[in-house]
Amino acid sequence: MKVDQHINNNHLSIIVKPNSPKAEIIGWDEDKKALRVNVHAKPEDNKANIEIVKLFSKS
């Protein structure tokens, strides 16, 4: 999925689900106008945020 097509005014809205079995970009949520992302990391000590950055740097 091309992430850059969802960037508007240099902003990207994302909905993150931590503690997932796999880190992946799920897809665009049209109702919420946000990208759905699963990350394996727990939402503590900035671990989930770091995993999000790594995931997007691969896209």
Number of domains comprising the chain: 1
Q: pTM here?
A: 0.79
Which tokens go with 22? 């796999």
The predicted pLDDT at position 31 comes to 94
Residue 34's domain comprises 3-58
Query: In terms of C-beta density within 10 A (0-12 exposed, 13-18 middle, 19 or more buried), how is residue 21 classed?
Result: exposed
What are the pLDDT digits (tens) for 1-59?
677 777 888 888 999 999 999 999 999 999 999 999 999 999 999 999 999 999 988 86
Q: Is 39 exposed, middle or buried (0-12, 13-18, 19+ CB in 10 A)?
A: buried
pLDDT of residue 26: 94
